Structure 1
Amino acid sequence: MSNTPAKAPKAPRRTALRQTTLSETIYSEIRTRLQRGTIGIDDRILDYEIADEFNCTRMPVRQALLRLVNEGYLAGTFRGFIVPTLMPDDVREIFEVRRLLEPSAAASAAATIDENCVDAMKRAYQQARKACTKKDGDSMIEANVAFRDAWLGAVRNSRLQDAIRRFADHAQQVRLHTLRDHATQKIVVDGMKAILDGFNDRDPARIRSAMLDFITGAEHRYFMSLNREN
């Protein structure tokens, strides 16, 4: 009989708990600034300036900025990072994808959305109304993003959420171009109201139709503004 002691069973390997890293914090902050138009198409983002702001080395900043490049939010240059300039065909393609994704996603959220999300939509709608009254483009842009994030939070497919958010954010150039125009602001407020009414009634068909009109109207207003400038 062997006197060799039995080996102790190995403890099961546990997945490490995920913590928010500095790079993720910087990524989220820069993406929020891009969404809200705080960083414009004429601005240049320099990694050492961001590092100074966050009191850190340039490594986590570079990681965050390169992630934003990979996701299409930024473009790298020999001197820093910039917001990509969209050509008319780029904008048309973005809106085509949004028309395919957002109406169906929003309609599906009618069955799962809770009162907290609806209340967030109402707050964003009220902010948009006030912004329109004051002709405040920056507040309108912020309300537009908040309204989208509110209903998008009820979409159960996380990959679909990410895709919608990314393509909508890529249209930042469109928001900056249109949401500071008072006539467009009125149309946006009306569109938000139609979508909100659909969610209040939990009516998927009504939500789908209102969302499609909302996206189509945004594209139309953008190209109208381009034509006026040209």
Structure 2
Amino acid sequence: MATAKAANPTKAGTPKRAADVVEKVYRQVKEMAVEYRFRPGERVNEVELAQKFNVSRTPVRQALSRLVHEEFVTFVPNRGFYAREITPEDVRQIYEYRALIECGAYRLACQRATPEQIAEAERLWTEQTSTTQNSEQLGEADEAFHIAITEMAGNPHITTALRDVNAKLRFFRRIDLENPTRCNKTYDEHAAVLECLKRGDPEGAEILRTHIVMSSEHAVEVTKEGLARIFFG
């Protein structure tokens, strides 16, 4: 009996360790996909990734399968996994989708946000941007601000959807924020959204939509610059 009891923790613990490995590999590979370390259309080499992370191919395949569902990679039967392609129209449409999520969340936040939540979002944005030195840091602060507004809607499913969209746009968002005009508008429009939210003013949703949505022409510019960096450094 003693021997049987001693064996149980090991058996129970094995799946958990395997799940931990898959989760770790998933986070690492997703980060590579988010930052476009796989070039669009490039075949993802499972063997190289397994060697890189010192794991078998199984957790790599499981991680890549999750990323297929999240639209970061595609799978071609009998050929393998490929990095997602990206076009200006894709970028524009994802920004459009992001605007729908955030504007809906803003309207709910007008009904549900507390003064304390609004004050905290304002404090964090001011604190983060006071030490911002580059577009990457500003992009992180910008993401955090928009997540904070969305969380005030009180619906975690909306917040999860926005986090997924943010990951798809992160690379291009940083490029967009390198533009001084765009950067200055971000500060002004965030302030305007907060003031509307304090009053429970639905007009803030239109300010937010204008702030987010990208024109077709601008999407072409940002995507071209992004692809040039991906392929030519």
Aligning the two structures, in what range does the TM-score lie when normalised by the shorter sequence?
Answer: 0.5 to 0.7
Query: How high is the sequence identity, in percent, across the aligned residues?
Result: 23
In structure 1, list runs of 5 or more residues that go unmatched: 1-18
Could you tell me whether the CA contact under 8 Å between 1:125 and 1:189 is conserved in 2?
A: no
Could you tell me whether the CA contact under 8 Å between 1:73 and 1:169 is conserved in 2?
A: no
Residue 28 of structure 1: CA displacement? 4.4
Q: Deviations over 1:17-42 (max 9, x none)?
A: xx89423344345546666x4x5564
Q: Deviations over 1:53-85 (max 9, x none)?
A: 665444233322321221113345868653x33
Matched residue, 1:96: 96
Matched residue, 1:61: 60
Residue 121 of structure 1: CA displacement? 5.2
Matched residue, 1:223: 219
Could you tell me whether the CA contact under 8 Å between 2:89 and 2:219 is conserved in 1?
A: no
**TM-score normalized by structure 1?**
0.66
| Whole-Å separation in 2 of the counterparts to 1:34 and 1:120 | 29
The verdict on how the C-alpha distance between 1:67 and 1:158 changes in structure 2, with shifts beyond 3 A counting, is same
In structure 2, list runs of 5 or more residues that go unmatched: 1-15, 226-233
Could you tell me whether the CA contact under 8 Å between 1:41 and 1:173 is conserved in 2?
A: no
| Whole-Å separation in 1 of the counterparts to 2:60 and 2:141 | 28
Residue 208 of structure 1: CA displacement? 1.2
Secondary structure of the corresponding residue to residue 112 of structure 2: coil
| Whole-Å separation in 2 of the counterparts to 1:228 and 1:107 | 34
Counterpart amino acid of 1:64?
A
1:205 and 2:198 correspond:
no
| Whole-Å separation in 2 of the counterparts to 1:204 and 1:24 | 42
Query: What value does the CA root-mean-square deviation take over the aligned residues?
Result: 3.7
The verdict on how the C-alpha distance between 1:116 and 1:164 changes in structure 2, with shifts beyond 3 A counting, is same
Q: Which moved more, 1:48-57 or 1:205-214?
A: 48-57
**TM-score normalized by structure 2?**
0.65
List aligned pairs for 1:1-230, cutoff 5 A.
21-22=19-20, 23-28=22-27, 30-31=29-30, 37=35, 39-40=36-37, 42=39, 47=46, 51=50, 56-75=55-74, 82=83, 84-114=84-114, 115=116, 118-120=119-121, 122-128=123-129, 130-131=131-132, 134=133, 136-199=134-197, 201=198, 203-216=200-213, 218-219=214-215, 222-223=218-219, 225-226=221-222
Tell me the number of residue pairs that the alignment of Structure 1 and Structure 2 aligns: 203
The verdict on how the C-alpha distance between 1:228 and 1:162 changes in structure 2, with shifts beyond 3 A counting, is closer
Secondary structure of the corresponding residue to residue 64 of structure 2: helix
Counterpart amino acid of 1:213?
T
Residue 164 of structure 1: CA displacement? 3.1
The verdict on how the C-alpha distance between 1:47 and 1:96 changes in structure 2, with shifts beyond 3 A counting, is same
The structure carrying a bigger helix percent of its residues is 2
Residue 108 of structure 1: CA displacement? 0.5
Q: Deviations over 1:106-161 (max 9, x none)?
A: 22023333535752553234423543xx4x01111211222222222233333333
Could you tell me whether the CA contact under 8 Å between 2:74 and 2:82 is conserved in 1?
A: yes
| Whole-Å separation in 1 of the counterparts to 2:190 and 2:215 | 15
